Structure 1
Amino acid sequence: MDSERREIWFPAKRYGWGWGPPVAWQGWLVLAGYFLLAIGGAGILLRQPHTATSVIAFTVYVLLLTFALSVICWLKGEKPRWRWGGKG
């Protein structure tokens, strides 16, 4: 059964719901890509002069990036559930 176990990139948080920092290089690569794309998007979408349209476009862009990161965490992380500490 161990050979069928999938590799976890994002472990579950010890307290609360969600995922903690990556434990595999692939997870760190995904997280770095997320931040680089967010910073690059800010540089492109929030050029001077700032307009309401550019702020809305950047907000939508970051929401889409965050959704993509959440999907990757869901697929490559431990099953999320509320945790109160401990080992399980």
Structure 2
Amino acid sequence: MTTPQKDDYWFPAKSFGWGWGAPRCWQGWAVLAVYAISVVVVLLRFPPQRDPAAFFGCLSLATALLIATCALKGEPPRWRWHR
């Protein structure tokens, strides 16, 4: 199995701290757009004042899917103090 090249990652590792930065390619931006749209849909469908359990459950699921996608298609994160 070959190691992915730096250009193959949809989400680069952050320059400072731990995690991923802004998307590097259109696929990453599409994932981020789907996440943003899903947050709006969840907010409209399950207002937190009316149905907090459904709101937080759906929002947690959407966020977990975003993190899983970043972990699968992003550069391996590690703690970084500087470039």
- Normalising by structure 1, what TM-score? 0.83
Structure 2 runs not aligned, ≥5 long: none
Deviation at 1:4, TM superposition (A): 5.9
Aligned equivalent of 1:23:
24
After superposition, the C-alpha distances for 1:49-79 in whole angstroms (9 at most, x for unaligned) are x33xx11211111111111000000000000
Aligned residues between the structures: 80
Dislocated runs of 4+, deviation >4 Å? none
More strand by share: 1
Q: Distance in 2 between matches of 1:27 and 1:40?
A: 20
Q: Which residue does 2:4 correspond to in 1?
A: 5
| Identical amino acids, percent of aligned pairs | 43
TM-score normalised to structure 2 length: 0.88
Larger Rg: 1
> Which one of the candidate residues 43, 52, 56 is aligned to 2:53?
56
> What do you get for the CA RMSD once the two structures are aligned?
1.7
